[in-house]
Amino acid sequence: MPTRIRLQRKGKKGQPYYHIVVADQRAPRDGKYIDRIGAYDPNQNPAFIEIDRTKALDWMQKGAQPTDTCRAILSYTGVVYRNHLQNGVKKGAFGQEEADRRFDAWLNEKNTKIEGKRSKLASGAEQAHKARLDAEKRKAAEMAAKLSAKLAAAPAEAPAEAPAEGEAPAEAPAE
């Protein structure tokens, strides 16, 4: 039975959420599957990826072929690299300790990049928020200055004398 590691769509319209599953390649996309090995949510930045690395590696060692998207996800999480290192151990190119050391070094570097991206996004959002507040404060100050100038000019333009209660207002001379 040819098996594939692929995505199974969940979630509502416009907000997809995927399960990463191992399924017979002849089964429908959202149909029956053999094993669920993870989840993928592309709606977040960076995308949320939760995967059971040991199960995914085990299925890859058994010959399950990932789809293009799943291959990218598995590569991002290090499963493809780990499979590559395990194949090197099987062939005798290096030992298991060396493979573990290489994978740990790669994983630390990858986690550093991900945290850098998260902090960059958080600081960018914070700076955008500060910029919006500053623009709003400037606009409020401009409006307050215009209003105070208008109020200061208003008494100078007021009529010289208001008529008393019982009198009729003076009419302007016709020209």
In tens digits, the chain (175 residues) has pLDDT values of 689 999 999 999 999 999 999 999 898 888 889 999 999 999 988 889 999 999 999 999 999 999 999 999 999 999 999 999 999 999 988 888 999 999 999 999 988 988 888 888 888 888 888 888 888 999 999 898 888 888 888 765 555 555 556 666 556 566 5
- Residue 160, SS3 per DSSP: coil
Separation of alpha carbons 31 and 152, rounded Å: 75
What ranges in the chain are assigned the alpha helix state H?
53-62, 68-77, 79-91, 96-157
pTM for this structure?
Answer: 0.65
